[in-house]
Amino acid sequence: TARLQLENAAQAAEERARQARADEARARAARLAEEEAKFAAESEARAAIARAREAKAAEEEARLEEMEAKRVSMALTKRASMASVAMARKSRIQSGRGPQSPRSVATRPSVEPSTRRT
């Protein structure tokens, strides 16, 4: 019976060793899964930050383009207005009415050109 007890003890020790190896393997797998999850979360966070930076840069570029478009539009409007005034002045001069508009002539007191203020 002593031999049977030794065999039982040896089998029990083998089973405990096998169980310890299985526990260690599960613990390793859990650590690995945790590290992979942490890496994936960090990677996703980095990607989200990069996307946010790209969106902010695109927004800023769009804002600058809009400002430039407004500036160009204002410049073109001013140029067109100045051209319209110049054409009206030219038309008045060609028709013999002079450089003044008829309204300004009508409301202006008659003053000799030599004493007129500018």
Amino acid at 26: R
DSSP, collapsed to helix, strand or coil, labels residue 90 as helix
Number of domains, the chain = 1
Mean pLDDT calculated for residue range 107-114? 56
Residue 112 lies in a domain: no
Which pLDDT belongs to residue 53?
98
**Is 103 domain-assigned?**
no
Q: What is the tens place of the pLDDT at every residue in 5-39?
A: 999 999 999 999 999 999 999 999 999 999 999 99
**Domain membership of residue 78 as a residue range:** 2-94
pLDDT in tens, 61-104: 999 999 999 999 999 999 999 999 999 888 888 887 765 555 55
Tell whether 104 is covered by a domain: no
Task: Please indicate, yes or no, if residue 100 is contained in any of the structural domains.
Answer: no
Give the angle subtended at the CA of 106 by the CAs of 102 and 107, to the nearest 5°. Answer: 120
- The tokens describing 10, both together, are 């040896």
**pLDDT of 82:** 95
Between 102 and 58, the more confident residue is: 58
Evaluate whether residue 110 is within a structural domain: no
User: What's the pLDDT at 91?
Assistant: 87
Domain presence at residue 105: no
Residues in contact with 100: Cβ distance below 8 Å, sequence separation at least 6, in sequence order: 92, 108
Q: What is the pLDDT of residue 105?
A: 52
